[in-house]
Amino acid sequence: MRTDLNGELMMLREMAREFAEKELVEGREERDNYPFGPPPDDLLAEAVKVGFFSIMLPEEMGGSARPLSALCLVLQEICRVDASLGAAIFTHALAMEIIKRAGGSAILEDVSSTETSLSKALIAFPSFDNPGETEPEAIAGKKGDSYEISGMVNYLVLGGLAKRALLAAKMKEGGGNSFFLVDLERDGVSISEPVLSLGLHACPSVDLSLSRAKAMLIGEEGKGDLLFEEAVDRLSVAAAAMACGIIKGSFDDALQYCRERVQGGREIVDWSEVRMMLAGMAIRGKVAEMLVERASAAVDGEEKGWQLASRAAALHTQQLAYEVTIDGVQLLGGNGYMKDYAQEKRFRDAEQLQALMGFTPLRKLKYIRRIIEGEPAWAG
């Protein structure tokens, strides 16, 4: 592992923080109105330009070849202010990870070299789905030396924006699931209106209906579930980083509000029950911060048991994010429930993020299954 990254990482974090404060605070409420407000294209294009969508790509492919820790830092800073952009970056990164693992470097190059067009720079992906858990409703069959897919894909993230999508489909002939790249602008693809969701409104999603749509196989036939799980091993800690960012944002705003809001003749921060709630938030936030830092280092260093470290970080931090953001709303009283403040959005976003990469309970069961089957539970 390169050891000279600390300084660089710090700079990257500063850059992400500056970007978040400059680009994400203003217009956050309006963007959250999507699809009843303008689409987030401009912001996404800006984020692509800055390089947030290619942090981990090799340099020769136009990326900045940074470790996962770098992505985690960027996601944390961004999600502190607006997790929608974070979810877009995460979704794209997860898709790229799968493609990379499957050896699709030609595609990666293509994606990163077409920075001029937003739709080409993004890969849509159903990042809330684990194809191994619920059977895909899309079925693929061979057609000549290519493939065709028919059926449904629900909640395709970035679906209305990206030109291409990475999708899992069941093979007509049986065997496991496989991944395919589909051009969403070609025949046989029909895209729904944006799906209305709990949170992450500015990270749009659609339902997809496919009728013999042309598709390119990514990786080997029947190896989709394995590819997905391997990508989740790595990217889970990035999901944890997003939750951690939300926690920090929620706490910071709550603390500031409690210092200013007066009830019962004093700033409410001076009521000990309010302090108790703030303490709970701050401690959870600290735990999340340490967890993400350690787990991402473990992943980058491929330390013993890094896969489970990454997964545990996501599961735990996502739970913490729910607990923190619910109090983050509560501490602002009625104002916390209103769109004018970002706290209600953080609460919705956090609760939506827990569904990333499949059912939370199944992710827990998978975690323990791997230990039962022999992976070490502890690093030491």
Partner 1 sequence: MMAIGMVAKGNGWTPKFEDIMCSMDSLGKMPKGAVVEMKEAMQLARRFNRAVVRPYALELDRKMQQDPTYLPWEFVEEANRWGFYTMWIPKLFGGKGWNLGSMIPFVEELATECLGMANLIGVQYFGISILFSTWNVRLIDMICREVVEGEKSGKPCLVSGAVTEPEAGTDAEEVELLSKARVRCHARKVDGGYLVNGTKVFISNGHLSTWHMLIAYEDLERPEETMVCLAVKNGMKGFSIGRMEKKMGQKGCPASELIFEDCFIPDDHVCFNAEQMKGLRRSAKETGMQVIDFVVSATRPGVGAMATGAARGAFQEALRFARQTEVEGKLLVNHEWAQCLLAEMYKNMTLARLTYMECAHINGRYGLASLMNHKPVYYYSRSMPTSFFDRIMPASNRRAITTKLVRKLVMDGQKEEDAMRASGWASLSKFAATDLAMENCRLALELMGRAGIRQDRRVEKILRDAKLLQIYEGTNQLNRLNLFKCLIGPYAPEARVFEE
Cα distance between residue 323 and residue 328, in whole Å: 9
- Separation in Å, CA 243 to CA 24, 65, 250, 346, 379: 17, 24, 11, 10, 24
Give me the least distance between CB of 277 and ligand FAD, in Å please: 7
Question: Closest distance between ligand FAD and the C-beta of residue 25, in Å?
Answer: 23
CB of 359 to partner 1, least distance (A): 4
What does the alpha-carbon distance between residue 356 and residue 364 come to, in Å, rounded to a whole number? 13
User: In this complex, which beta carbon is closest to ligand FAD, that of residue 337 or of residue 359?
Assistant: 337
The CA-atom distances, in angstroms, between 180 and each of 96, 164, 245 are: 12, 10, 32
CA distance 97 to 380: 28
360 makes contact with partner 1 (CB under 8 A)? yes
Compute φ and ψ for 178, nearest 5 degrees.
-135, 160
Here's the x/- map for ligand FAD, 308-347, by CB under 6 A: it reads as ----------------------xx-xx--x----------
Site for partner 1 in 113-172 (CB under 8 A): 126, 128-129, 132-135, 154-155
Q: Which stretch binds partner 1 (CB under 8 A): 45-53, 251-259, 287-295, 332-340?
A: 332-340
Which among 50-58, 173-181, 273-281, 370-378 is the span making contact with partner 1, rule CB under 8 A?
273-281
Coil, strand or helix at 191: strand
Report what 91 binds from partner 1, ligand FAD, none; CB cut-off 5-8 Å by kind. none
Q: Is 213 within 8 Å of 138 (Cβ atoms)?
A: no
- Which of 43, 64, 44 minimizes the C-alpha distance to 112? 64
Per partner kind, with CB cut-offs from 5 to 8 A, the member of partner 1, ligand FAD, none near residue 63 is none
Interface map 85-124 toward ligand FAD (x if CB under 6 A): ----------------------------------------
Residue nearer to partner 1 on the CB measure, 190 or 263:
263
Q: How far apart are CA 27 and CA 282, in angstroms?
A: 27
Tell me the closest approach of the beta carbon of residue 251 to ligand FAD, in angstroms: 14
User: Which residue in 97, 106, 99, 98 sits closest to 55, CA to CA?
Assistant: 97
Q: How far is the CB of 275 from ligand FAD (least distance, A)?
A: 9
d(Cα 4, Cα 56) in Å, to the nearest integer? 16
Binding mask 255-284 for ligand FAD (x = CB under 6 A): ------x-xx---x--x-xx----------
- 3-state SS, 50-92, equals HCCCCCCCCHHHCCCCCCHHHHHHHHHHHHHHCHHHHHHHHHH
Q: How many CA atoms lie within 13 A of 45 on its CB side?
A: 9
Q: Name the token pair of 160.
A: 């209305």
Amino acid identity of residue 43, one-letter, is L
Residues that bind ligand FAD (CB under 6 A): 261, 263-264, 268, 271, 273-274, 330-331, 333-334, 337
Residues that bind partner 1 (CB under 8 A): 33, 36, 126, 128-129, 132-135, 154-155, 195-199, 262-266, 271-274, 277, 322, 326, 329-330, 333-334, 336-340, 344, 347-348, 351-352, 354-355, 358-362, 365
